[in-house]
Amino acid sequence: MAENKLPVFFRFRIWWHLLFWVVIFVVYWLISAGYQDRYVQEFYMNLIILPARIIGTYLMIYLILPQATRKKNFILFGILLLIHFVGYGFLIYVSYYVTNPIPEIYDFRAHPLFNFPKILIKAVSDYALPLLASAIVIFKEWYLDELENKKLAEEKVAAELSFLKSQVHPHFLFNTLNNLYALTLIKSDKTPDIVLKLSDLLDYMIYNSNEEFVSLAKELEILEGYIELEKMRYNERLNLQFTVKGEIDGHRIAPLILLPFIENSFKHGASKDRTNPLIRIELVIDPGFLTLKVINTIPSDKTEDDSVARGIGLKNVKRRLELIYPGEHDLKIIPGEKQFEVRLKIFWK
């Protein structure tokens, strides 16, 4: 059975309606009886008027109000509202006039049944009730619309995040398999180690990346594993500097949110530079936020297609940051002639 997500005050409609009318009856009774100390007489009188109040109120909220709130037919709503105002006053007046059990207090029989001024007086004095009920209905419909819009927005974000996460796997796998293929061509002794580390990375991606947040320690372990894979590939040709500062324990982060920046530095920097590429990765953990700085050199003979800013991984992770850390991150991508720099700050949730 599907769980009802509505707040409790929007469930059990019959009982809430019953409670509403009990409260209305008691309030009208005590107010009208309190001035003259006529509790018994006013109890009977308000009990007699109650059906007219119920009929008039439900006609308002179920027949007239929807013309404005749902159908947006404001002209018809205005006409019906005027008719209802007069008709409601007539119902209240008739309840007094025809069934009045205490004529010595409410001497309506001295007036004709269709006494229009008296009807208007009764409408004005009692019309706060259907207006109150209408306000409650309008608030309820607005609140339910907000809940529905929020639910749809959350479902859209969840679907988009799921799609973006699904892109991480093939994108990363494609790049790493390319690296592995290059090593197999030269029959490198490092191939078994790379396969083992790749297996660990894929295990993490399959079984941990679907979580909303993971421990920062585990995420750094994956980053270190990926960097080790790349170091095996480039040997001494690569000048790699990787530093981590700060207290790691106790922090959680969205999975695979840092990896694309590091991956792109290798893909668009080191792999394109046949001389002595430099990659500097600095990760600083502060009590309130995490800072990542990634700098990689750019080969002098780079082409437009080599632009790191065009990478699928970066576009992907930018959108993920917007969805997971809205207003809680700062990303700066600084392209240059000789080096490319990424600065990312993520505030802890």
DSSP secondary structure string for all residues of 26-74: HHHHHHHHHHHT-HHHHHHHHHHHHHHHHHHHHHIIIIIHHHHHTS--H
CB atoms within 10 A of CB 195: 12
Average pLDDT over residues 170-190: 68
**pLDDT of 134:** 93
**pLDDT of 72:** 86
**pLDDT of 3:** 45
Does the pLDDT at position 22 exceed 90? yes
Mean pLDDT of all residues belonging to the chain? 79
pTM over 0.75: no
**pLDDT of 310:** 46
Average pLDDT over residues 144-172: 67
Domain ranges of the chain: 11-126, 151-347
pLDDT per position as a tens digit, 73-96: 899 999 999 999 988 888 888 887
**pLDDT of 23:** 93
Question: Exposed (0-12), middle (13-18) or buried (19+): which is 262, by Cβ within 10 Å?
Answer: buried
CATH class name, domain 151-347? alpha beta
In angstroms, rounded to a whole number, what is the distance separating the alpha carbons of residues 241 and 300? 21
**pLDDT of 311:** 55
Average pLDDT over residues 57-62: 94
Average pLDDT over residues 325-340: 89
Least confident interval from 28-32, 266-270, 277-281, 316-320 = 266-270
Contact by Cβ (8 Å): 123, 92:
yes
Does the pLDDT at position 305 exceed 70? no
Read off the pLDDT band of 201 (50, 70, 90).
confident
Strand ranges inside 113-264, DSSP E: 214-215, 239-246, 252-253
Q: Phi first, then psi: give them for residue 215, nearest 5 degrees.
A: -70, 145
Helices (H) and strands (E) in the chain, counts: 10, 7
- Which of 104-113, 173-182, 317-326 is modeled with the greatest confidence? 317-326
Two structure tokens written together for 299: 């080969």
Write b or e for each residue in 24-54: b if 16 or more Cβ atoms lie within 10 A of its Cβ, otherwise e: bbeebbeebbeeeeeeebbbebbeebbebbb
Average pLDDT over residues 269-295: 85
- Which of 203-207, 244-248, 313-317 is modeled with the greatest confidence? 244-248
Read off the pLDDT band of 165 (50, 70, 90).
low
Does the pLDDT at position 280 exceed 80? yes
Contact by Cβ (8 Å): 99, 106:
no
Does the pLDDT at position 252 exceed 90? yes
Does the pLDDT at position 7 exceed 60? no
Read off the pLDDT band of 183 (50, 70, 90).
low
